[in-house]
């Protein structure tokens, strides 16, 4: 009986999995395998929070395969070496996988695919991660888009494939199974207390992803446009880690929103659905940029920023990482990140702006911290977000747009509920001062039990002074441009 190896990567699901569907259509036995290949990621091996998620997502996938009469074989090492060994052991004649779009992975996969084909192996790859693959989307000049609005407008003229459904029944297993590592052998779970916080906040896996999508579309989609910027509400989809690990695919998300809208007759008039799908579009745009500008995880897209006078301060970087800047909305976001491996998107923009424009510490420092602490750490999204905030990327926020943390907090957390949750030492402050405790009268601070400089720090920098310094630095690179 013919054997096909299905190589799972960031597509840890059974439904809408084109590689698995193609293997089933080919016929014969299927050998599902996941290979932990840390070298393949180049300069961006998975961070601690992502490794935690991966551990539990693999456990979930293994359980789903067992329910279908199959198994998930686990291995570690160089992917090509492992796959060639499995081909020999099982006499498999095909290897199918779904594509990834990180520069190092693209280069590795291209070489590996050519080598396998040269030896007579049926090596095929498929799209499971995106609505529109980067190499298929071009502007009128034939080049890549660098501004989101025309990119998304163009994408909306293109067809979206229907999700691939896996029918009921067992997945044919090989006659003999090669040896597999135990999940614990991959050593993915962190040996720190962060583990407990992540477990309290998340349930990884395909079933949890589908449940979250159903909950979101049923309860929050209609109000998404109005509630998505309010960090204390459950107004966002929280699907980002599920999408990154491929526990659910964007085609499934697209279909769920469209199906709901068709039933109610409100699409495309429903603003919540429109805005939500445009956020899916930003994910597509991020991958588009990473594909066409592979240098951007380390270097600014706008070359003049290569000479930007970033500061160096390990003390201030550490204060930002720990949520001890003296700006409540910033500190709340950074503490939420450490506790849960996730941060509300509006707050991500605020804390990122604070790092690069108030402290003038480089966006690369921030990107590295997010990479290690986010459960949804994604090279494309992480790069786009940080370069956008720093003003050095495609369609970026102007550098002179400097968020005032107090005003941002007052606007998007007006009652201070988000700050009270994550910065409990300020919980008793009235809403008037919750985002600017330094302005509270002494008696108000005393009644709230807040001792500035003791149990809550004074602001790390003065907003006005930091703003002027950032603008001066921006003027410096404008003058130095050729």
Per-residue pLDDT of 359-386, as tens digits, reads 999 999 999 999 999 999 999 999 999 9
What value does the mean pLDDT take over residues 428-444?
A: 97
Whether the per-residue pLDDT at 459 is higher than 50: the answer is yes
pLDDT tens, 18-33? 999 999 999 999 999 9
pLDDT tens for residues 326-353?
999 999 999 999 999 999 999 999 999 9
Q: Distance from first CA to last CA of the chain, Å, rounded?
A: 65
Q: In what order do the strands lie in the sheet with 73-76?
A: 73-76, 29-36, 3-8, 94-98, 122-126
Instruction: Spell out the residues 6+ positions from residue 445 whose beta carbon is closer than 8 angstroms to its own.
Output: 429, 437, 451, 452
- Contact indicator for 344, 336 with CB cutoff of 8 Å: yes
Residues in the chain: 482
3-state SS string for 271-334:
HHHHHHHHHHHHHHHHHHHHHHCCCCCCCCCCHHHHHCCCECCHHHHHHHHHCCCCCHHHHHHH
In this structure, of 194-198, 308-312, 331-335, 405-409, the range with the lowest mean pLDDT score is: 194-198
Domains identified in the chain and CATH numbers: 3-128 (3.40.50.620), 130-161+206-292 (1.25.40.80), 303-480 (1.10.579.10)
Asked if residue 17 has pLDDT above 80, the reply is yes
Tokens of 446: 């005393």
Residue 8 has pLDDT above 80, yes or no: yes
Stretch 208-216: mean pLDDT, rounded?
Answer: 96
Per-residue confidence (pLDDT) for residue 478, from 0 to 100: 67
CA–CA gap between residue 6 and residue 96 (Å, rounded): 5
pLDDT, averaged across the chain? 94
Q: Mean per-residue pLDDT for 257-281?
A: 74
Query: Model confidence over 61-112: pLDDT tens digits?
Result: 999 999 999 999 999 999 999 999 999 999 999 999 999 999 999 999 999 9
> Could you tell me the pTM of the whole model?
0.95
Kindly list the catalytic residues: 279, 282, 310, 345, 363, 386
pLDDT band at 261 (very low <50, low <70, confident <90, very high): low
* CA-based nearest residue to 370, from 394, 336, 403, 402: 336
Strands 94-98 and 73-76 turn out to be: unpaired
* Helix 250-264 vs helix 271-292: crossing angle, to nearest 10: 160
């Amino acid at each position: 009986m013919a054997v096909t190896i299905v190589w799972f990567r960031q597509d840890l699901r059974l439904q809408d999995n084109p590689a698995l569907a193609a293997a089933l259509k080919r016929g014969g036995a299927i050998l599902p395998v996941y290979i932990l290949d840390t070298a393949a990621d180049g300069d961006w091996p998975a961070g601690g929070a992502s490794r935690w998620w991966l551990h539990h997502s693999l456990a979930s996938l293994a359980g789903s395969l067992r329910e279908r009469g199959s198994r998930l074989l686990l291995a570690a090492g160089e992917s090509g070496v492992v796959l060639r060994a499995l081909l020999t052991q099982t006499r498999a004649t095909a290897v199918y996988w779904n594509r990834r779009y990180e520069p190092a992975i693209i280069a590795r996969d291209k070489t590996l695919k050519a080598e396998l084909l040269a030896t007579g192996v049926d090596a095929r790859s498929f799209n499971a991660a995106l609505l529109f693959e980067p190499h298929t989307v071009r502007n009128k000049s034939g080049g890549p888009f660098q501004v989101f609005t025309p990119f998304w407008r163009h994408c909306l003229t293109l067809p979206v494939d229907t999700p691939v459904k896996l029918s009921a029944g067992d997945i044919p297993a090989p006659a003999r199974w090669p040896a597999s590592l135990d999940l614990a052998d991959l050593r993915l779970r962190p040996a720190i207390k962060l583990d407990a916080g992540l477990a309290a906040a998340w349930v990884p896996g395909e079933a949890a992803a589908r449940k979250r999508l159903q909950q979101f579309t049923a309860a929050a989609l209609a109000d998404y446009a109005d509630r998505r910027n309010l960090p204390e509400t459950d107004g966002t989809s929280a699907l980002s880690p599920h999408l990154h690990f491929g526990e659910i695919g964007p085609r499934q998300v697209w279909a769920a929103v469209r199906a709901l809208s068709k039933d109610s007759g409100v699409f495309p008039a429903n603003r919540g659905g429109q805005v939500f799908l445009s956020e899916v579009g930003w994910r597509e745009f991020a991958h588009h940029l990473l594909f066409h500008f592979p240098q951007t995880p380390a270097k600014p897209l706008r070359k003049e920023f290569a000479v930007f006078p970033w500061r160096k301060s390990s003390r201030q970087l550490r204060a930002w990482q720990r949520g001890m800047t003296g700006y409540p909305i910033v500190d709340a976001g950074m503490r939420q990140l450490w506790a849960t491996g996730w941060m509300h998107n509006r707050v991500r923009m605020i804390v990122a702006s604070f790092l690069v424009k108030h402290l003038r510490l480089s966006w690369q420092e921030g990107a590295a911290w997010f990479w290690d602490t986010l459960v949804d750490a994604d090279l494309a999204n992480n790069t786009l977000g940080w370069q956008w905030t720093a003003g050095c990327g495609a369609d970026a926020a102007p550098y002179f747009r400097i968020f005032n943390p107090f005003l941002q907090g007052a606007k998007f957390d007006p009652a201070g509920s988000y700050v009270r949750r994550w910065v409990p030492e300020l919980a008793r402050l009235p809403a008037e001062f919750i985002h600017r405790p330094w302005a509270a009268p002494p008696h108000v601070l005393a009644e709230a039990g807040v001792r500035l400089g003791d149990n809550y720090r004074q602001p790390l920098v003065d907003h006005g002074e930091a703003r002027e310094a950032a603008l001066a630095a921006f003027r410096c690179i404008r003058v130095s441009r050729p």
